[in-house]
Every structure is written in structure tokens, then in C-alpha cells.
Amino acid sequence: MTLQNPLLFKQHCYIDGKWVNALNQKTHLVNNPYDQSELGHVPMCGAAEAKQAIEAAFNAQKSWKMLTALQRSTYLRCWADLIDKHKEDLAILMTLEQGKPITEARSEIEYANSFIKWFAEEARRVYGDVIPSNKPKQHLLVLKQPIGVVAAITPWNFPAAMITRKCAPALAVGCTIVIKPAEETPFSALALAALAEQAGIPAGVFNIVTGNPSDIGAEFTHNPLVRKFSFTGSTQVGKLLMQQCASTVKKVSLELGGNAPFIVFDDADLDLAVTGLMASKFRNTGQTCICANRIFVQEAVYDAFTQKLVSAVKKLRIGNGLDESVQQGPLINEAALEKVTNHVADAIANGAASVFGGKRHEAGKLFFTPTILTDMNMSMLIAREETFGPIAPLFRFKTEEEVIAMSNETNAGLASYFYSQDIHRIWRIAEALQYGMVGVNEGIISTEVAPFGGYKESGIGREGSRYGIEDYVEIKYLCMG
């Protein structure tokens, strides 16, 4: 591993400002998904270390919340400057442990840092209210106070951005945080902690505990000192964690699975739609919660759109993410590869045609060829489940009513996309889609300034933007007689 600053490669947890092993000294191995080579070991912690970190966060919060908003903002800004300075090392670490192309890893570091910069600014704008009283000689006020200790579990697909999107608003308002990163991608999280330490963020304010997900998750969700729990990951695990949080009635934020429709109407600019689809579908090799999962194309443009898409997909370069020209990396693990393989097999068994790809790729054990399937129907697995891989399934539709019904026929409601040039249609469709986010003639919608989150079983709460900070404060009403 050739890092300019090798000190960013940490193989210990960061608890209460100290780099520590698991109490039982156990570790777990992290491999590179590109070639399965060994990258390093991290502590295999459990409930005991999670409890220590929560207690450290609880103690640290007493003084962290007493700082002025400007002081907390300055700490965050200093951390962001260090992240900018070490961007290339952070991107290399990310590609090594996650597999995504280096160009995407660099963008993710910028995206991750945009949350720290944004919330460093928002820290200074957590305003309360004065309410006109309904009685003489009474004054009614609303204060916003930090909720307390936050515990968060973050996923492997965005090893840096999903951390900063949670910890930046938490720290900005005066909360402290304990994070468990995904077992597959702990090194990006630990490198961020190394830079937080360098930025002088006080001990106990930002903690990282690696290890056993169910033991750490149980401590996070049951410990009464934790007042807010935030999770990004699968809907199935999110439901379980939400149930666990009920025992101590924690405030919960969940960013769960999606099943995004991507609709191409017959009045769409087809070249623009292909560009948008390539960006949405193949970002991170199809492993994002907001990737287009079901592509609905109106019948008059179905064949033309398919042809244009095939020529774009053919050009994708597949291989080792560290190679600057590569656009598609490996899938994260065997389970991911198996899911993608099953989805393609199920579609073909039920009448779909594979017009490009459809099989594994010779670049390595965890690679799948970017694939285009046509003649899809709503009884297939892909119509119901998120594939989380580089498969573009094309469904044909006739009318607006039909495509709205098909798009909304899912328990998920995270992101959706459509392409049309008719302003009346744009409003009708944007309002009818039951999704938290809608891309209109746009395939990349994520930004720190807009609210990220879903309807239905895709989650609770919003991250990023001015709305994102609300999840980390309690509202206190003062009635002054």
C-alpha cells in the first residue's frame, strides 16, 4: 500500500481518544475485493468495547455541548481541511477496501467532506423560536438542544460519506458519536478518525468501534445513554434495529433499501436519458441504494433507447479500481455476486433476453459483466428486489397511468428518476411518484445541500441539507410566567 502518509492506515479502534485493541485481543481480516489479497486486520470488538465508547462519548458531551457553535464549527472546518489535504491517500484506501474505481473514490472523499463543510456552516444557524403568547404576562420560547450521544452503523458501499453525513450534523449541534463501520471497509473510517484526532477534536467526541455487528448493534440500540440511533443499510436489518431501539425509545434515523424506477417517456431526450442512466445505474458498480433498479421505457422509444444503451455499456472499462481508466470494479463479496447472478437467471428463466453481458467477468472472482436485459416483466425478482449490481433491466410501458402504477408497486420509496420534456407531464409525474427523491432529467441527485431520504420502508428522517440537522436536536419549550 503506497500512501503518502502511512499513519492514516490504522489497525486499531479509536475510543476516547486512544487507539485500542479488542479486550480479548481478537481481530478480523479485511481483504481487497479486487483480488482477495490481505489488506490488514482490525479489532473484533463486541458489546463491552461499544459500552466503553458510549460512556466516553457521554462524558465528552458534557463539555462539547458547552462550546460555542463557532468553536465546534472551527473544529469541523479544521478536520475538513485535513481531509482535503489527504484526499488522495483516503481515496486509495477506499478503492483498496471497497473496490470502487479511484476516480469515484476521489469523488466520494469530496462528497464526504462536503457534509463536514456544510454542517460546519449550519452549526451556527441552529435557531430557536419566540412564540407569540396567548396569555398576558407569559413568554413562550423554543430552544433546540443537542440530543446527546449518537450511535451509528454505516455501510460498505460509501465507506466515508455515510459516516460524515451522520457525524457532521451530530458534532455541529453538540452531540458526540460512536460509529461502527462495515466489517468490509473499516480503514476509511479509521483514517477519518486519525484526521479528527489531528484536527484536535477532543477525546470521546468521535469514536470508532470495529467488530461484531450484532453484538455492537445490540449495545448501541439498548444502552440508555444513547439517545439517537442512525443506520444506513438493508431494510431487513433496519427493521430489526428499530425494534431494538424501542426498548429505550431512542430517536431513530434509517436510510434503507431502494428499488428506484427510471422512466424514459417518448418525448425524452434519449441521449440525455442514456447519460443519466449510465451515471445512476453504474455508479459504484450498481451498488448504491439510489441506483436505477427498474428501467421503464415507453414503447415508441424502447428499441432506439436499447440500442443507444448497448453502445454506451459496451464502452465501460472493467478491472482493478486503482487503474485510472477503469469505470467498473468488483462486487463487494460472494453474497453480492450470488444475488446478481440469481436475479439475471430468474429474469432469463421467465422470458427476459440478455442483449449484453449476462455473465461473470474474467477480471476477477467477484466481477460481473455490466448487463442489459430486455422484455422484463413485473413478476420477475428484479421487479421486487434491489439488485445492487451492474444489471440494467428494461421494462416496456404504454401509458403514464401504467408506468406510475408499476413504479409505485414496491415497499421501497427512496429515489426515482424520469426523463420527459413536457412541463405538464413533469409536474404530474413528480407529484405522483411515491419517493423521497425524484431526479427529473437528471441521474445524479446526491448533494450535501438537499435532503436525502425515503418514503415507505426506505427509511425515516432526512440526511444532509438544513433538514438533516433537525434529527440531532431536541425541541424544548419554555413557558415563562
- Which residues are catalytic, by number? 255, 289
Residues 205-234 contacting ligand SIN, CB under 6 A: 232
Using the rule CB under 6 A, give the single segment among 87-95, 288-296, 311-319, 370-378 that binds ligand SIN: 288-296
C-alpha cell at 409: 408497486
Site size toward ligand SIN (CB under 6 A) is 9
State the nearest-atom distance from the C-beta of 454 to ligand SIN, in Å: 10
The residue sitting closest to ligand SIN, measured at its beta carbon, is 446
State the nearest-atom distance from the C-beta of 261 to ligand SIN, in Å: 16
Q: Please say which residue, 108 or 197, places its beta carbon nearer to ligand SIN.
A: 108
Q: Are strands 415-419 and 437-440 parallel, antiparallel or unpaired?
A: parallel
Sheet holding 176-180, edge to edge: 18-20, 13-15, 206-208, 176-180, 149-153, 226-232, 251-255, 459-460
One residue of 278, 289, 406, 429 binding ligand SIN per CB under 6 A? 289
- Taking a C-beta distance cutoff of 8 angstroms, is the pair 145, 175 a contact? no
Q: Please say which residue, 9 or 158, places its beta carbon nearer to ligand SIN.
A: 158
C-alpha cell at 204: 470521546
Q: Is 158 in the site for ligand SIN (CB under 6 A)?
A: yes
Q: Please say which residue, 61 or 232, places its beta carbon nearer to ligand SIN.
A: 232
Using the rule CB under 6 A, give the single segment among 155-163, 188-196, 337-345, 404-412 that binds ligand SIN: 155-163
Q: Give the orientation angle of helix 213-222 with respect to helix 47-64, to 10 degrees.
A: 40
C-alpha cell at 96: 483498496
Q: Is 387 in the site for ligand SIN (CB under 6 A)?
A: no
How far is 253 from 166, CA to CA, in rounded Å? 10
One residue of 201, 290, 372, 383 binding ligand SIN per CB under 6 A? 290
State the number of CA atoms in the 13 A half-sphere of 390 facing the CB. Answer: 30
Q: Is 288 in the site for ligand SIN (CB under 6 A)?
A: yes
How far is 2 from 18, CA to CA, in rounded Å? 25
State the nearest-atom distance from the C-beta of 447 to ligand SIN, in Å: 9
Using the rule CB under 6 A, give the single segment among 193-201, 287-295, 325-333, 371-379 that binds ligand SIN: 287-295
Residues 50-109 contacting ligand SIN, CB under 6 A: none
Using the rule CB under 6 A, give the single segment among 60-68, 285-293, 295-303, 420-428 that binds ligand SIN: 285-293
User: Which residues are registered as beta bridge partners of 452?
Assistant: 463
Q: How many CB atoms lie within 10 A of CB 325?
A: 9
- Taking a C-beta distance cutoff of 8 angstroms, is the pair 386, 259 a contact? yes
State the nearest-atom distance from the C-beta of 391 to ligand SIN, in Å: 16
What SS3 class is residue 39? strand
DSSP 227-246: EEEEEES-HHHHHHHHHHHG
> Is residue 269 exposed (0-12), middle (13-18) or buried (19+ Cβ within 10 Å)?
middle
| Residue 475 parent element (H or E) | strand 473-480
Q: Is 182 in the site for ligand SIN (CB under 6 A)?
A: no
Using the rule CB under 6 A, give the single segment among 28-36, 236-244, 286-294, 310-318 that binds ligand SIN: 286-294
State the nearest-atom distance from the C-beta of 177 to ligand SIN, in Å: 18
Using the rule CB under 6 A, give the single segment among 153-161, 317-325, 338-346, 372-380 that binds ligand SIN: 153-161
Q: Is 253 in the site for ligand SIN (CB under 6 A)?
A: no
How far is 251 from 150, CA to CA, in rounded Å? 9
What angle (nearest 5°) sits at the alpha carbon of residue 371, between those of residues 332 and 270? 120
Binding mask 418-447 for ligand SIN (x = CB under 6 A): ----------------------------x-
Q: Please say which residue, 158 or 397, places its beta carbon nearer to ligand SIN.
A: 158
How far is 208 from 348, CA to CA, in rounded Å? 44
Q: Give the orientation angle of helix 87-98 with respect to helix 102-122, to 10 degrees.
A: 120
Binding mask 11-50 for ligand SIN (x = CB under 6 A): ----------------------------------------
Sign of CA dihedral 346, 275, 454, 424: negative
One residue of 52, 95, 114, 157 binding ligand SIN per CB under 6 A? 157
C-alpha cell at 77: 472546518
Cα dihedral 315→98→240→435 (10° resolution):
-40
Q: Which residues bind ligand SIN (CB under 6 A)?
A: 157-158, 161, 232, 288-290, 446, 452
